[in-house]
Amino acid sequence: MPQIEWEVSFSIGDETIDKQHQKWIALYNKVDKMLLESNPTEFAEMKVEALEEMKQYALYHFSYEENFMKKINYPDLPRHWRLHKDFDYKVFELIRQIESGGILLHSELLTVMRDWLIEHILKEDMKIRQFQ
């Protein structure tokens, strides 16, 4: 999978959230590189570590973003919160799958992460702009 490069079009207009999105993209790129360079013995362990790191950062970011949306009286907060919870659950399920010996391809893991980042930032988080 190609690395994701931050673009100005990803900006929602809030410096803190934009920096968090940049950090999240950097984390994705780090995970992509790490998984590509791992040997088969390290592969499953590295996927779990990568997902755990992504999950922890997501929790931090989601908390900030949800508090921000409360402050600006974002009207679609309940649905947005649900999207965050769905992603959290998806990551939890992927971790469980790997830890129980299930097969999770590198490309599948990165596709889930990449699609979430691009789709969520460009479609869902962009909706926040008009309420700032």
Give me the helices (H) in the chain, please.
15-37, 40-71, 77-99, 106-119
Confirm if 113 and 28 have CB atoms less than 8 A apart. Answer: yes
| Tens of pLDDT, residues 1-25 | 688 999 999 999 999 999 999 998 9
| Tens of pLDDT, residues 113-123 | 888 888 888 89
Domains of the chain: 13-29+48-131 (1.20.120.50)
What percent of the chain is predicted at pLDDT more than 70?
94
| Of residues 92, 100, 109, 99, the one with CA closest to residue 38 | 109
| Tens of pLDDT, residues 89-121 | 988 888 888 788 777 677 777 888 888 888 888
Report the pLDDT value the prediction gives residue 41, as an integer from 0 to 100. 66
Task: Please determine, for residue 70, whether its predicted confidence score (pLDDT) is greater than 90.
Answer: yes
Give me the helices (H) in 72-99, please.
77-99
Q: Residue 13: left (phi > 0), alpha (psi -120 to 50), or beta?
A: left
Give the number of other CB atoms < 10 A from CB of residue 101: 7
